[in-house]
Chain A
Amino acid sequence: MVQEQIKTTAAEQAAVSARMRQAQEKLRKETQISSGRKVKGGVVNGLMIASFVIVIGLLAVIIGYICYRGLPKITWQLLSTQPSHLKRTVGILPNILNTIYIILITLMIVLPLGVGTAIYLTEYATNAKLVRIIEFTTETLSGIPSIIYGLAGLLIFVQALHCGTSILAGALTLVIMTLPTIIRSTQESLKTVPDSYREGSLALGSGKWHMIRTVVLPSSIDGIVTGCILAIGRIVGESAALLFTAGMANNIMNFGQAFLPNNAGSTLTVALYMYAMEQGDFDTAFAIAAILLILTFIINFAAKQVARKLRKNTAAD
């Protein structure tokens, strides 16, 4: 009798421990990451690392190759002369000057226009519908490809307004192209100016424009500078919009002449295109490419520095 009892408890114990083991097993299976999930994760991780490596490889090849081919070809003579058929030498001084002229003329026009539009949108405009329309049009402008700008510039400035193929026509075309950039970055920094500044100024009796000029604009100067740097970046890199508006000439001119109609001149990018496609002079083309790479690097660095300062200022507020 006693022995039977002991037997049954032993059997029960065995059954219980078996059940426990089963439950443990089940729990382990449920919580363990199945091998299928592991494989999937591994494959995806592998793909991710592969595409990362591809991108790094691309970066290294492009930047390395341009430096390798271009840097040794940058000589003082190249930088300081204009091309001469007589001496059979190549120089890109005219292109450097033209690029600078186009940047200056474009900024001279687009800066008041873009900053003014941004001020109007954030400070003056009361009609929500009009604001929406203006914002829609600036968005549209930023979506138009540069070749269309080139053609529109050809039709409007070169032909209809009789500027001829000239630096001036090119700069005017780029004004339209860079306008959205300036508007957007100015608007963003105007929005970070606290309303209390405005209220304080108005309460002291200043008029609206006086308030904007003395209070709002000085505190949003960083955003305007960022916009300028981004615009310069676009102008330096632009070629399709300038090919038919600013032309392909390689003559040295002074800043005053750049304002005259029919004074054509090619920028660095257009010159690169002409040297590579029309003349097959790849040494000069790569030298220009290396210069453009360096300029892009400087512009990016400057934009980042200003943006960092902007962030710090807003954080301080």
Chain B
Amino acid sequence: MSTLSAAKTKKANSPVELFMHGLLTVFGLTSIAFVIFITAFLVVSGIPAIGKIGFTNFLFGTVWKSTAADPKFGILPFILTSIYGMAGALLIAIPVGLLCAIYLSKMAGHVLAEVIRSAVELLAGIPSVVYGLVGMIIIVPWVAKSFGLASGATLLAAIIVLSIMVLPSIISMSETALNAVPKEYEEASLALGATWTETVFKVSVPAAKSGIAAAIVQGVGRAIGEAMAVMMVSGNVANMPGLLKSVRFLTTAVASEMSYASGLQRQALYSIALVLFIFIMVIMFVLNSAIKKKKD
């Protein structure tokens, strides 16, 4: 007995055990360190330019001329473009994605649903530059032709590409949520005389509400954060947003000038990244806590 417990304590307190415990604790703390590092670096690099340009001039200035002799650094066009782009993309993607998810989950045959499901997963995994390329070659010329524009690289083209990119995550996450609704709910509704459509929309969808909300939140995140695909189809000019104007998003504003910027211009790009970072964190935090509240 005593030898056994001695062996055990010896093993539990062996140097290897202690070392691994310490090492794994350090590993566990790294993700905290990463978040702190990223935030600190963004804040430290982003603040100086805001100070030099002036908070209101920077956030609410409507003109961005970073390379002019008398440079202007107003990022309101980028902020509005990002908001419009996200709203437009979700306006298209939520109804289409949700209806498609309902069809897949409740109406489609087993084999068809399985095929479409893998295709949607494939769509979700396609790199964003590929979407940008397809958008450049198909959607941009189509927009130019339909509206008689010289160039179709507009907010509209970006919205279409973004909505296609958001669709897969909305479809697959809402479908998972809908599949998790207990069969008894639907059977009870049908037994009470509701039609199948009524059952789906008044029973299944409300029951899957929180999962669908999470799907939409993820869509919001992807729509605001997307850079490369949008850069390839939006024309990349710092206009105030208009559906048929070339525009620049917060994300693309950072990416497009980074390779050659220096001095105050470069610092202003860091500030844009800081604004984008805060913007996304606030939106995600608000939406996520709203979901959690509803769940409780």
A interface residue numbers (CB < 8 A to B): 31, 33, 37-38, 40-41, 44-45, 47-52, 54-56, 58-59, 61-63, 65-66, 69, 112-113, 116-117, 119-121, 124-125, 130, 133-134, 137-138, 140-141, 143-152, 154-156, 160, 176, 179-180, 183, 205-210, 233, 236-240, 243-244, 269-270, 272-273, 276-277, 282, 285-286, 289, 292-293, 296-297, 299-300, 304
Contact = CB atoms under 8 A, between A and B. Distances in A.
A233 B195 contact: no
B259 to A, nearest CB: 7
A52 B231 CA distance: 29
A55 B171 contact: yes
21 contacts: A48-B107, A52-B108, A58-B167, A59-B116, A62-B123, A69-B137, A137-B31, A143-B280, A143-B281, A145-B226, A147-B251, A147-B255, A151-B270, A151-B273, A209-B20, A233-B125, A240-B227, A273-B129, A292-B126, A296-B122, A300-B121
B123 A59 contact: yes
Contacts of B255: 147, 150, 240, 243
Given A54-B96, A276-B232, A209 B16 contact: yes
A45 B228 contact: no
A16 to B, nearest CB: 28
B187 interface: no
B129 A272 contact: yes
B49 to A, nearest CB: 13
B158 interface: no
B45 to A, nearest CB: 6
A125 B258 contact: no
B137 A145 contact: no
Nearest to A238: B127
The secondary-structure label for the interface of chain A is helix
B23 interface: yes
A141 B225 CA distance: 13
B35 A137 contact: yes
Contacts, number: 253
A300 B100 contact: no
Interface stretch (B5-13, B58-66, B69-77, B176-184): B5-13
A273 B232 contact: yes
- Would you call the interface of chain B mostly helix, strand, loop, or mixed? helix
A244 B42 contact: no
B28 A116 contact: yes
Interface string B95-139: 111011011100110000000101111110111111111101110
A205 B8 contact: yes
Contacts of B8: 205
Most buried by A among B119, B193, B201: B119
B41 A156 contact: yes
8 closest Cβ pairs, A-B complex = A145-B225, A116-B27, A120-B28, A237-B127, A41-B197, A209-B20, A51-B99, A147-B227
